[in-house]
Amino acid sequence: MMTNRYQLYINGALTNAGNDAFFPSTDPSTGEVFAEVADASLEDMRLAITAARKAFDNGSWSALPVRERGRYLIAISQQIREKAKELADLETQDTGKTVKQSTFIDIPTCADTFEYFGKVCSELSGHTNPVPAPVKSFTEREPIGVVGGIIPWNYPLIMAAWKIAPALIAGNTVVFRPSSQASVSVMKLAQIIAQVGLPPGVLNIVASSSREVSSKLIESRLVDKISFTGGTETGQYVMRTAAVNTKRLTLELGGKSPNIVFADCDFEAALGGTMSAIFMNQGQMCTAGSRLLLQEDIYDEFLEQLIAKTRDLKIGPAKDYETDFGPLISQKHRDNVLASIAAARQEGATIACGGKVPEGEALANGFYLEPTILTGVTNDMRIAQEEVFGPVLAVIKFHDEAEAVALANDSRYGLAACVWTKDSHRVNDVSKRLQAGIVWVNTYGGFYNEAPIGGYKESGFGRELGLEGLHEFTQVKHICIDETPGGKPLVANWF
């Protein structure tokens, strides 16, 4: 039963959509509608873009000292922590991720990101260039202008923070569009931010079920940059659309990440890490370690224990703290994942465990799927090359280091990779040879505000987080002052 309605956040005020339209939000654990979100029209998006443009052009935000802008971000982080339980419950209800994950990962990460960028100062400072006298040369970093942020549904609050916080601290204004499949926690965040009292128009959060509304944000000549996270095909559409006015882009796209387990690994650590890499958030992660490259020496033993531990995972409603594995985001997405499993079987893969909709009255109405392990996979199969975005692990045997690296790099994607080994020489060698934007060694999923994340190849370009991610929201200006005595440099007398 629907209990709450959430409004848009435009020009400093919470407001309904202009046509009073709403779209439903469904709890993946139950299949029931639990909230409604204001469904922005093209006119609502136009108002948000105009508000952001005005706020940037009048300097109400960019002219503030960096520390002053930071105070707003720190205030937002404090409010997120105060509302942590409510936000975690909403994130769980909206996405189907377990309440353990929402409580202990998503909400703290969101708050920490706002706080971290709220304290950034020197990273935005300019510097003097060592050019010969009598010229003085300065490089300054300035905000780009109006930034459009667009995200998918799998990590709403974390990705909102990753895009909004660095864009704002750099002096930009923002129009942010969450996915219509998971907008509720972000629109609750909008309510929190409204109480902090940012200047009108500095941040606008606009949810919509219409692709046309999102396209308006990408197309608008009033918007100077798009930071997009989502599928590779959609990212290519964003590129084509933004090219009309040569808009700046950051694209964090799909992945088919290799998880390489060598025979000399810490067996238990690699076993647990492999499960986290594919089954965290039910595999609905762009960085999911969905290709397990397993060395032949330990193949049978490792696979046997992996299957046993996978079968022991408790599938259940996401809000239950005893649940290990919740539902997928929607019935449509579950159908797509099941179709990928069926296609893999047709190509010769074997279902070692899972692969079905689980039985039980408590699970009957939700969008559940058993965690799935496929064996007999070769790297040329679609299941090894196409992103499934679900709890499906393709296991591939390899002989030696050279073959492991070759298999890992044989992909159009290059977002992330894992390596499990005790050999420090192998760590250095393999990490350098892998074509991926982030390589985790003897761990999985370490994201830090201080370090960048982003992809190679069709996994996109640009970076989020770290100094590199912060600088994605700035543009560089060179200021050159000639101080020739008498004010008559050579150029003034050339002709």
Place of tokens 């999985």: 444
Tokens representing 208?
Answer: 């919509």
Tokens representing 386?
Answer: 């196409």
- Cβ within 8 Å of residue 470, ≥6 positions away: 117, 120, 123, 124, 166, 169, 170
Q: Is 252 a catalytic residue?
A: yes
Q: Is 110 a catalytic residue?
A: no
Check: CB of residue 372 under 8 Å from CB of residue 392: yes
Check: CB of residue 48 under 8 Å from CB of residue 56: no
CA-nearest of 215, 149, 135, 145 to 178 is 149
CA-nearest of 144, 21, 122 to 65 is 122
Place of tokens 């005893």: 322
Phi, psi dihedrals of residue 50, rounded to the nearest 5°: -65, -40
CA angle, 81 as apex, 78 and 86 as ends, to 5°?
A: 135
Determine the 3-state secondary structure of 292 from DSSP: strand
Of 36, 110, 115, 286, the catalytic one is 286
Strand partners, 440: 418
Determine the 3-state secondary structure of 449 from DSSP: coil
Strand partners, 277: none
Helices (H), 220-266: 232-242
Length of the chain: 495
Report, in angstroms and rounded to the nearest whole number, the Rg of the chain calculated over CA atoms.
24
> H or E stretch including 398?
strand 392-398
> Other C-beta atoms within 10 Å of 330: how many?
17
Of 252, 370, 458, 472, the catalytic one is 252
Catalytic site positions: 252, 286
